[in-house]
C-alpha cells in the first residue's frame, strides 16, 4: 500500500541516519582514518553551533554546515526531528517497548523546551555554554561512545572469551577479537569510572516515554524548540479533507507529538514532525501532506513573556553563580586537561561533553575520563586525565584531532610530544626506593622521552638495623623535560595511589 | 671500561674467526650450542645461525607448533632498537614454516598500547606476511601457574600457549636496562606474563629467574644488530643506538645471555640474575670456558 510505503521510507531514512551516527562514533578509534568525520553530526547541529560559538565568542566556518539543519524548518517544519535526528530514532525504537499504550495529552509541558532553549541562549550570552546539558546530539554521542561502547565491549569480550576458554573454534575467536581490536575497540578492556552519569541521562530520556511517546521531543528538547520556532514559516502542512473526516479521533490519539488539535483539522506546526503516521492510521483516508502558503496556518509561540523574563533571570543569576563558584585549587591540582586544551574558562565554554576525546582515548592510552565534580559543577563530564586508569600515549594526538569545537586544539605529533600538560612529582612516603630503599625503576624505564624526564641517582644506603651497605637507585625528575604524560603514575607497581603523581604545575594551555 | 671490554670482545671474536673458517664445536663432538654471527643482513644471519647450530631440523619437526617471542613491547620504530629486528623475526618465521612447522605464534604483552606497539615495531606486518600468527594478548589468555622451586614467587599469570607449543624460540633484543644493566633473554620472558608486572621488578633478579623456571625456551636468538646503549629499555633517542650487526644464539639460555652481556660490554658475573640462574642449574655462565662458534661476513 502506498501509505505504508511512505512509512517504510521514513523509517529507512531514520535507520540510515542512526546507523550513520553510530558509524561516526565507531570511527573515533585508533588507527584514526575516518571515512566520515566523527564530528559530523555535531557540526551539523544548529544548537551546538549557536550556543558554543556564542558562549565561546568565536567563529568556526565548519559550523556553517549547521545552516542546512537550521534552514530546513523554513521548508519542511520539524521534519528533522521525525526523519533525521538519531536521538529521535532511538526514542522511537525504544518507545515500541517502553511507551505505554495510552495517549495522555502533555501539552501543558510543551513550553518547557522553549524555556530551556532561551535559558541556554541567554546563558551563552553571558558566556556560559550549556549545550552539553540538554543538546540531544552530544548527549547521544556520549551515550553510545562511552557506556554503549563499554557495554558492547564487555558483551563481546565475555562471549568470545567464553568460547576461547572452552576451546570452541579458538582460532576463529582470536580472529574475531583481533579484528575487533583492529577496527573498533582496544585490546584490553576499557575502564570508565564515570559511566553512570551518561548512562543515567540516556536512560532517563528513554524512560520519560512511560509518560508519553517522545516525551523528550515534545517537551524538553531545546533543538526541537529551535526548529519548532522556525517552523512557523514552513509551507509543508498536514491537511485534512473535511468531507472525508469522520471525527474518529484516531489521529489525535496516535500522534507521537500530540501535535493535532482537538478539532482534528489544525496542527501545531512547531510540534508536527511529519512522521506520517496519522495519514497511515486514518480509517477514512482523509489526511494528506502538502505545501501551502504559510499564512493560512496557525501556529503559536510557546513562550509567554513571564517565562521569557524567568529564563532571563535564571541565566543572569545562574551564570553569576557559575562564575563565582570558585573551586578549591588543591582539589583541581590533579585535574589534568588533554594536551592542546584551551585555557580553563575558554575550555569550559567550548567543551560540549560529547565524549569524543574520551572514546578515542580509550582506544589508545585510555587516560581521558569524564570528570564528576572534580572540576566543579560547571565542569561536569569534561575530560580529565586519570593516570591510574590510563596514560597519554607518546605517539598519540587523537583527542585534539577529533574535538568538534576545538576546545582541544589539534596539534601535530611533534608539537604534542613536547607539550606540557603537567609535571610529575614523587610522593616519597609511598615511592618504593625512598620508603624501602630498594630498587624499583619502573617509572624510569617507561618514560617515553628521548632524554628521559625521570633519571636515576645511585647512592649508598646503610641499613640501620643490620648495618649492611647497598647501592640503591633513587629516581628524580627533570621538570623541564617532563611533559606530564602520566605513564609513570600509570605503571607504578604500588596498589592504589602511585608513588609518583602528575600535577597541573607548569601546564601549557592555549 | 665498557668500551675496553667491548673492544676486547670484538678483537677476540675477530681473532677466533680468523683462526678457523670451519665450525668450532664448543663442547667437543656435539653440534654447536652457542653461535655468534656478525656483519650479514638480518636474513643471512638468521640462516647462518641455524646452519651453525646444526640446521633448522634440529629444532623444528614436521607439524610442530612453534611460539616465537620477540620484543614488541614499545611503540617505537625498529631503528630505535627498543624492539626486535622485524627482518630477523620474519626470517626465523619463514625458516620454521619451511621446516614443516604447522603454526608459528607470535605474542607479546606490551608496555605501550598493544595496537600501536605491534604496528610501529613492524613485526606485526612483516612476520604476519611471512606466515606467522601475530596475536594480541588478552587477560583471558593467562593462567595462574605454579612455579616449582620459586624463591620469590610461588604462582604467577603465564600465557597459556606457552604450555601448548612444541618449541619456544626466544628472540630478545640486546638493550640497556637500568635495573639489570642489560636486558636479554631472561627478561624478555616477562612479555609472556600478565598481572601487575611492575611487581616483578622487586626483587628483580629472583623474580626474573623464577619466571624462567616455567617458561623454558628451546632456543634463544639475541638480536644485537642494533643495540640500545643507554636509556633502555624504552629508548627513543637515536643517539643511544649503536650498530653491532651481531646475532648471538644458542640452546643454553643462560650462556646466551652471558655472552650477549659480554658483547654489550658487561661482565656476566656481575649480573645477579645470571648468578642465580647458574645456581638454579639453568645453564652455564662462564664465558671464558664456553665460547661461541663464530662466523663473520666479509663486507
pLDDT at position B28: 46
Interchain pair A439, B231: CB under 8 A? no
Q: And the C-alpha cell for A271? A: 510540534
CA dist A437 and A475 (Å) reads 11
Site from B72, B74, B109, B112 to mutate, A interface, most A CB atoms within 10 angstroms: B112
> For A91, phi and psi rounded to 5 degrees?
-65, -45
Residues with Cβ within 8 Å of B51's Cβ and at least 6 positions away in sequence, in order, are none
pLDDT at position A350: 93
- Option in B115, B139, B237 nearest A30 (CB): B115
Query: What predicted TM-score, i.e. pTM, was given to this entire model?
Result: 0.89
Model confidence at A299, pLDDT cuts 50, 70, 90, reads low
Q: Above 90 in pLDDT, residue A201?
A: yes
Question: Three-state SS for A349?
Answer: helix
For residues A122-139, average pLDDT? 92
pLDDT at position A62: 94
For residues B73-82, average pLDDT? 96
The answer to which of A363-367, A440-444, B283-287 has the lowest mean pLDDT is A363-367
Interchain pair B113, A449: CB under 8 A? no
Question: Residue B203: is the preceding peptide bond cis (ω within 30°)?
Answer: yes
Interchain pair A186, B113: CB under 8 A? yes
CA dist A51 and A351 (Å) reads 11
* Digit-coded pLDDT (tens) for A364-393: 888 999 998 888 888 899 999 999 999 999
Q: For the stretch A319-330, what's the b/e string if a residue is b when 16 or more beta carbons lie within 10 angstroms of its beta carbon?
A: beebeeeebeee
CA dist A446 and A452 (Å) reads 9
- Give chain A positions within 8 Å (CB) of B165: none
CA dist A390 and A489 (Å) reads 9
Q: And the C-alpha cell for A247? A: 471525527
| Interstrand relation of B65-70 and B103-106 (parallel, antiparallel or unpaired) | parallel
Q: What sign has the CA pseudo-torsion B259, B263, B266, B267? A: positive
**Which has the higher per-residue pLDDT, A133 or A320?**
A133
Q: Above 60 in pLDDT, residue B24?
A: no
Question: Three-state SS for A55?
Answer: helix
Q: Above 50 in pLDDT, residue B78?
A: yes
CA distance A178 to chain B (A): 7
- Give chain A positions within 8 Å (CB) of B111: 446, 491
Task: Provide the H-helix boundaries in A298-441.
Answer: 305-324, 329-332, 344-350, 356-362, 398-402, 413-418, 432-436
Question: Three-state SS for A462?
Answer: strand
Interchain pair A445, B179: CB under 8 A? yes
The answer to which of A36-45, A416-425, B12-21 has the lowest mean pLDDT is B12-21
Model confidence at B91, pLDDT cuts 50, 70, 90, reads very high
pLDDT at position A104: 78
pLDDT at position B22: 45
Q: Above 60 in pLDDT, residue B65?
A: yes
B257: nearest Cα among B270, B239, B244:
B270
Q: What is the ipTM of this complex?
A: 0.88
- Residue A34: enclosing H or E segment and its boundaries? none
For residues A34-58, average pLDDT? 94
Q: And the C-alpha cell for A39? A: 564530528
The chain B residue lying nearest A455, using CA atoms, is B231
CA dist B247 and B42 (Å) reads 8
DSSP A120: H
- Give chain A positions within 8 Å (CB) of B232: 445
Residues with Cβ within 8 Å of B113's Cβ and at least 6 positions away in sequence, in order, are A30, A186, A187, A364, A365, A393, A396, B75
Residue B65 burial by Cβ neighbours in a 10 Å radius (0-12, 13-18, 19+): middle
Q: Above 80 in pLDDT, residue A101?
A: no
For residues A256-260, average pLDDT? 90
CA dist A42 and A35 (Å) reads 16
Q: Is-contact A206 A93, C-beta < 8 A?
A: no
pLDDT at position A296: 52
List, as ranges, residues 415-434 from A with C-beta within 8 Å of B. Answer: 432
* Digit-coded pLDDT (tens) for B239-278: 999 999 999 999 999 999 999 999 999 999 999 999 999 9
> Which residue is it, cell 562471549?
A159
Percent of chain A with pLDDT over 70: 96
Q: And the C-alpha cell for B122? A: 613492524
The answer to which of A153-167, A321-335, A344-358, B65-79 has the lowest mean pLDDT is A321-335
Tell me, yes or no, if A259 comes closer than 8 A to chain B by beta carbon.
Answer: no
Q: Is-contact A199 A148, C-beta < 8 A?
A: no
> What mean pLDDT value characterizes chain B?
90
CA dist B139 and A160 (Å) reads 12
CA distance B231 to chain A (A): 7
CATH match of B34-296 with 3.40.50.11440: yes
* Digit-coded pLDDT (tens) for A448-481: 999 999 999 999 999 988 889 999 999 999 999 9
Residues with Cβ within 8 Å of B217's Cβ and at least 6 positions away in sequence, in order, are B69, B168, B169, B170, B185, B189, B253
pLDDT at position B122: 96
Residue length, chain B? 299
**Alpha carbon distances (Å) from A110 to A218, A301, A500:** 6, 11, 53
pLDDT at position A417: 96
**Which has the higher per-residue pLDDT, A312 or A430?**
A430
A485: nearest Cα among A401, A381, A361:
A361
CA dist A273 and A280 (Å) reads 15
Question: Three-state SS for A291?
Answer: strand
Q: Above 70 in pLDDT, residue B155?
A: yes
- Option in A30, A157, A449 nearest B116 (CB): A30
> Which residue is it, cell 535564571?
A314
A272: nearest Cα among A306, A310, A234:
A234
B48: nearest Cα among B223, B296, B299:
B296
Site from A158, A163, A178, A436 to mutate, B interface, most B CB atoms within 10 angstroms: A178
pLDDT at position A311: 82
* Digit-coded pLDDT (tens) for B179-211: 888 999 999 999 999 988 777 767 888 999 999
* Digit-coded pLDDT (tens) for A137-169: 999 999 999 999 888 888 888 899 889 888 888
Which residues face A408 on adjacent strands? A341
> What mean pLDDT value characterizes chain A?
90
Q: Above 50 in pLDDT, residue B21?
A: no
Q: Above 60 in pLDDT, residue B16?
A: no
Model confidence at B13, pLDDT cuts 50, 70, 90, reads low
Q: Is-contact A333 A424, C-beta < 8 A?
A: no
Question: Residue B233: is the preceding peptide bond cis (ω within 30°)?
Answer: yes
CA dist A343 and A336 (Å) reads 12
* All structural domains of chain A: 2-135+212-296 (no CATH), 326-416 (3.30.70), 423-503 (3.30.70)
Residues with Cβ within 8 Å of A378's Cβ and at least 6 positions away in sequence, in order, are A128, A322, A325, A348
Q: Above 50 in pLDDT, residue A302?
A: yes
Q: Is-contact A336 A385, C-beta < 8 A?
A: yes
> For A49, phi and psi rounded to 5 degrees?
-60, -45
Domain ranges of chain B: 34-296
Q: Is-contact A392 A382, C-beta < 8 A?
A: no
CA distance B21 to chain A (A): 41
Tell me, yes or no, if B201 comes closer than 8 A to chain A by beta carbon.
Answer: yes
| Interstrand relation of A469-477 and A383-385 (parallel, antiparallel or unpaired) | unpaired
CA dist A261 and A255 (Å) reads 10
In chain B the first and final C-alpha atoms are separated, in Å, by 28
Q: For the stretch A391-408, what's the b/e string if a residue is b when 16 or more beta carbons lie within 10 angstroms of its beta carbon?
A: bbbbbbbbbbbbbbbbbb
Q: Above 50 in pLDDT, residue B26?
A: no
**Which has the higher per-residue pLDDT, A308 or A256?**
A256
CA distance A154 to chain B (A): 13
Residues with Cβ within 8 Å of A244's Cβ and at least 6 positions away in sequence, in order, are A284, A285, A286
DSSP A147: I
> For A364, phi and psi rounded to 5 degrees?
-130, -90
Q: Above 60 in pLDDT, residue A301?
A: no
Q: What is the 3-state secondary structure (H, E, C) of chain B?
A: CHHHHHHHHHHHHHHHHHHCCCCCCCCCCCCCCEEEEECCCHHHHHHHHHHHCCCHHHCCCCCCEEEEEECCCCCCCHHHCCCCCHHHHHHHHHHHHHCCCCEEEECCCCCCCHHHHHHHCCHHHHHHHCCCEECCCCHHHEEEEECCCCCCCCEEEEEHHHHCCCEEEEECEEEEECCCEEECHHHHHHHHECCCHHHHHCCHHHHHHHHHHHCCCCEEEEEEEEEECCCCCCCCCHHHEEEEEEEEEECCHHHHHHHHHHHHCCCHHHCHHHHHHHHCCCCCCCCCCCCCEEEECCC
Q: Is-contact A384 A368, C-beta < 8 A?
A: yes
Tell me, yes or no, if B199 comes closer than 8 A to chain A by beta carbon.
Answer: yes
**Alpha carbon distances (Å) from A105 to A126, A260, A373, A480, B292:** 36, 10, 37, 65, 90
Interchain pair B234, A187: CB under 8 A? no
List, as ranges, residues 453-472 from A with C-beta within 8 Å of B. Answer: 456
CA dist A38 and B187 (Å) reads 42
Q: Is-contact B227 B212, C-beta < 8 A?
A: no
Amino acid at each position: 500500500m502506498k501509505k505504508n510505503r511512505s512509512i517504510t521510507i521514513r523509517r529507512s531514512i531514520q535507520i540510515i541516519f542512526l546507523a550513520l551516527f553510530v558509524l561516526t562514533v565507531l570511527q573515533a578509534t585508533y588507527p584514526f582514518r575516518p571515512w566520515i568525520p566523527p564530528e559530523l553530526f555535531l557540526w551539523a547541529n544548529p544548537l551546538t553551533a549557536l550556543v558554543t560559538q556564542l558562549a565561546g565568542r568565536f567563529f568556526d566556518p565548519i559550523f556553517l554546515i549547521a545552516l542546512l539543519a537550521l534552514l530546513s524548518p523554513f521548508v519542511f517544519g520539524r521534519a528533522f526531528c521525525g526523519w533525521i535526528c538519531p536521538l529521535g530514532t532511538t526514542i522511537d525504537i525504544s518507545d515500541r517497548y517502553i511507551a505505554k499504550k495510552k495517549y495522555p495529552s502533555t501539552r501543558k509541558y510543551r513550553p518547557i523546551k522553549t524555556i530551556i532553549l532561551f535559558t541556554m541562549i541567554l546563558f551563552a550570552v553571558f558566556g556560559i555554554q550549556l549545550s552539553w546539558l540538554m543538546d540531544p546530539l552530544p548527549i547521544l554521542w556520549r551515550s553510545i561512545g562511552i557506556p554503549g561502547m563499554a557495554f558492547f565491549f564487555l558483551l563481546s569480550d565475555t562471549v568470545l572469551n567464553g568460547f576461547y576458554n572452552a576451546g570452541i573454534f579458538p582460532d576463529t575467536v582470536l580472529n574475531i577479537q583481533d579484528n575487533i581490536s583492529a577496527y573498533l575497540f582496544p585490546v584490553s578492556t576499557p575502564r570508565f569510572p564515570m559511566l553512570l552519569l551518561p548512562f543515567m541521562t540516556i536512560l532517563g530520556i528513554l524512560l520519560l516515554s512511560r509518560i508519553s511517546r517522545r516525551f523528550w521531543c515534545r517537551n524538553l528538547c531545546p533543538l526541537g524548540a529551535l526548529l519548532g520556532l522556525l517552523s512557523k514559516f514552513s509551507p509543508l502542512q498536514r491537511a485534512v479533507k473535511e468531507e472525508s473526516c469522520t471525527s474518529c479521533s484516531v489521529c489525535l490519539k496516535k500522534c507521537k507529538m500530540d501535535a493535532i488539535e482537538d478539532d482534528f483539522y489544525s496542527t501545531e506546526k512547531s510540534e508536527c514532525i511529519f512522521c506520517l503516521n496519522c495519514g497511515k492510521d486514518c480509517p477514512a483516508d482523509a489526511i494528506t501532506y502538502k505545501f501551502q502558503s504559510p499564512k493560512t496556518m496557525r501556529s503559536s509561540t510557546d513562550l509567554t513573556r513571564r517565562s521569557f523574563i524567568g529564563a532571563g533571570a535564571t541565566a543572569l543569576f545562574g551564570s553569576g553563580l557559575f562564575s563565582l563558584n570558585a573551586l578549591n585549587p588543591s582539589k583541581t591540582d590533579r585535574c589534568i586537561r588533554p594536551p592542546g586544551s584551551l585555557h580553563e574558562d575558554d575550555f569550559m565554554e567550548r567543551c560540549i561533553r560529547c565524549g569524543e576525546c574520551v572514546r578515542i582515548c580509550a582506544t589508545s592510552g585510555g587516560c581521558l575520563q569524564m570528570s564528576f565534580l572534580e572540576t566543579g559543577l560547571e565542569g561536569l563530564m569534561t575530560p580529565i586525565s586519570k593516570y591510574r586508569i590510563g596514560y597519554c600515549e607518546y605517539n598519540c594526538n587523537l583527542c585534539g584531532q577529533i574535538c568538534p569545537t576545538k576546545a582541544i586544539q589539534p596539534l601535530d605529533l611533534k608539537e604534542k610530544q613536547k607539550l606540557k600538560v603537567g609535571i610529575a612529582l614523587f610522593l616519597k612516603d609511598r615511592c618504593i626506593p625512598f620508603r624501602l630503599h630498594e630498587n624499583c625503576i619502573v617509572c624510569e624505564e617507561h618514560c617515553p622521552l628521548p632524554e628521559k624526564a625521570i633519571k636515576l641517582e645511585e647512592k649508598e644506603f646503610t641499613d640501620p638495623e643490620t648495618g649492611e651497605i647497598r647501592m640503591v637507585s633513587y629516581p628524580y625528575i627533570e621538570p623541564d623535560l617532563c611533559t606530564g604524560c602520566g605513564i609513570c603514575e600509570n605503571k607504578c607497581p604500588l596498589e592504589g595511589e602511585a608513588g609518583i603523581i602528575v600535577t597541573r604545575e607548569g601546564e601549557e594551555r592555549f | 671500561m665498557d668500551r675496553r671490554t667491548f673492544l676486547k670482545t670484538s678483537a677476540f671474536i675477530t681473532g677466533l674467526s680468523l683462526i678457523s673458517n670451519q665450525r668450532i664445536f664448543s663442547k667437543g663432538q656435539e653440534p654447536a650450542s652457542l653461535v655468534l654471527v656478525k656483519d650479514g643482513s638480518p636474513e643471512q644471519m638468521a640462516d647462518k645461525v641455524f646452519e651453525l647450530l646444526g640446521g633448522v631440523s634440529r629444532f623444528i619437526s614436521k607439524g610442530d607448533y612453534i611460539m616465537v617471542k620477540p620484543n614488541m613491547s614499545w611503540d617505537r620504530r625498529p631503528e630505535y632498537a627498543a624492539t626486535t629486528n622485524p627482518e630477523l623475526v620474519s626470517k626465523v618465521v619463514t625458516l620454521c614454516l619451511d621446516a614443516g612447522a604447522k603454526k608459528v605464534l607470535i605474542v607479546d604483552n606490551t608496555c605501550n598500547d598493544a595496537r600501536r606497539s605491534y604496528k610501529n615495531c613492524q613485526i606485526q606486518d612483516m612476520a604476519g606476511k611471512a606466515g606467522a600468527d601475530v596475536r594480541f594478548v588478552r587477560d583471558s589468555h593467562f593462567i595462574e601457574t605454579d612455579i616449582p622451586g620459586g624463591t620469590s614467587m610461588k604462582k604467577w599469570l603465564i600465557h597459556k600457549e606457552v604450555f601448548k607449543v612444541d618449541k619456544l624460540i626466544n628472540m630478545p633484543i640486546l638493550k640497556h636496562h637500568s635495573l639489570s644493566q642489560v636486558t636479554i633473554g631472561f627478561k624478555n620472558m616477562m612479555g609472556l606474563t600478565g598481572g601487575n608486572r611492575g611487581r616483578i621488578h622487586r626483587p628483580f633478579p629472583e623474580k626474573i629467574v623464577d619466571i624462567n623456571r616455567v617458561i623454558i625456551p628451546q632456543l634463544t636468538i639475541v638480536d644485537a644488530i642494533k643495540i640500545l646503549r643507554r636509556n633502555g629499555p624504552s629508548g627513543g633517542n637515536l643517539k643511544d643506538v649503536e650498530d653491532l650487526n651481531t646475532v648471538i644464539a644458542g640452546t643454553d639460555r643462560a650462556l646466551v645471555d652471558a655472552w650477549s652481556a659480554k658483547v654489550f660490554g658487561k661482565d656476566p658475573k656481575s649480573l645477579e640474575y645470571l648468578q642465580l640462574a647458574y645456581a638454579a642449574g639453568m645453564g652455564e655462565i662462564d664465558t671464558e670456558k664456553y665460547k661461541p662458534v663464530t662466523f663473520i661476513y666479509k663486507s
